[in-house]
Structure 1
């Protein structure tokens, strides 16, 4: 998609952070953008800010962990713009707890937002993009934790799944003229550490205040500081725009975690090397 001017994009989790950075970068490239988010006030502020730059944008409030809400967003986009060319499955949350603290509600919440909304995004928006003919694109936000497991099993598992989903569907949708990219950002200035502010009540998740002392408290403090000093979301948006224009399969934001990814693949290769000269028994 070399020429983005006049195209229409639907971006989830677009009221702040990476989503707003992507929506802004696309709008600056002449794309008409439907911003989707669960937080109405933040969404209204984001849309108003972009409209002041003469961007052709609109907003729709939706809890993307509900398939029917995402369908409502698609319907609103078609009603407002008459087409969809680009889908950005960006909405995501950090949470779920560590081993020993899990709950069904916590897992359902993280899976619903981080994974199922991506599945439904492909299912709902894919056919709409196909209507426009060759040249559409779908970007899904995973994480560098989708390639190297970090410290949050629920988050990591969903992000690994988004990477796998994107890799598989890239092959399938290429035959239909739709490019597929997976965004694996590193440390970006976002509100992900405050994801629990948006937990829908139906998940019945008990939010526990984080500890103020001890190893977990130290980790939270260090990670929060790293995020505050992280990469500007607008820069991430510009990378996503470039990734769409050039059909990048993977979009990274920096090389900070490249050694960890290389170490993981080295361990995988070592597993193959251990059985390379063995003859399988039948």
Structure 2
């Protein structure tokens, strides 16, 4: 999509962080943007700020882990703008712990927001985008969707977003829809306080684990890395460029490239062992 001006985008998780960065970059390119989020006050503030720049933006509140609310948000978008050309599946939460700390609420909440909302977004929007001659879909995974450092629902959900995006790129390309997966590193967002928006039906999803010295230090380091992370506005600019140039993968930095190369190396060695075993027979 080389010419974004005049197109319409629907962005989830748009009240802050990466979502707001993407919404801002698209609005600056002349895109009409419907910002969707569960956090009403922050959403209203974000839209008010963008309107001061003469951006054509609107808001709709929705809990994207509920398909019916996402569908209702789509109908409001259609009523306001008539069409959607760009879908940004960005809403995400960091709930759930590693093995030994799992609970059903944590899995349900994290997979509901991070993965199922992406599935539903594509299911709802792709036919609309195709009927209008094509467009683009960007779904936010994480660098953790390529190098899982643990068994958390977050990592599992992000691997799912990568797999879904890779598959959709092959299937939707011939239909005129580009598909990109955003795999950010440490970005300055509110991901570490996701529990502020925890719906009551997922009570217990963020039950804190016992924090020994090592876990406490890891948590502290994570908070520091996120709070000092990359500016979300820069990420938004990368996403805009990725849409314009149909990038399959959108990364935000090269910090984790060696770890990804190491993972691919282990996969390659797995094939080498089979090849060597056959050669010895």
Query: Quick check: 1:96–1:152 contact (8 Å CA) kept in 2?
Result: no
- How much does 1:153 deviate? 1.9
Distance in 2, matches of 1:32 and 1:200, equals: 29
**Which residue is 1:69 aligned to?**
69
Distance in 1, matches of 2:171 and 2:205, equals: 40
**Which residue is 1:12 aligned to?**
12
Q: Deviating runs (4+, > 6 A) in structure 1? A: none
Runs of 5+ unmatched residues, structure 2: none
- How much does 1:198 deviate? 1.1
| TM norm structure 1 | 0.96
**Which residue is 2:232 aligned to?**
233
Give yes or no for the alignment of 1:88 onto 2:95. no
1:1-282 matches, cutoff 5 A:
1-134=1-134, 136-151=135-150, 153-205=152-204, 207-209=206-208, 214-279=213-278
SS in 1 for 2:175: coil
Distance in 1, matches of 2:73 and 2:42, equals: 17
Distance in 1, matches of 2:191 and 2:209, equals: 15
**CA deviation digits over 1:191-215, x for unaligned, max 9?**
1010111111112325445667611
**CA deviation digits over 1:119-150, x for unaligned, max 9?**
0000000011112113x000000000000002
Query: Quick check: 2:33–2:56 contact (8 Å CA) kept in 1?
Result: yes
Aligned length, in residue pairs:
279
Runs of 5+ unmatched residues, structure 1: none
Shifted more, 57-66 versus 150-159: the winner is 150-159
Query: Quick check: 1:199–1:205 contact (8 Å CA) kept in 2?
Result: no
Query: Quick check: 2:106–2:206 contact (8 Å CA) kept in 1?
Result: no
SS in 1 for 2:223: helix
Distance in 2, matches of 1:109 and 1:12, equals: 16
| TM norm structure 2 | 0.96
| Aligned Cα root-mean-square deviation (Å) | 1.4
- How much does 1:279 deviate? 3.9
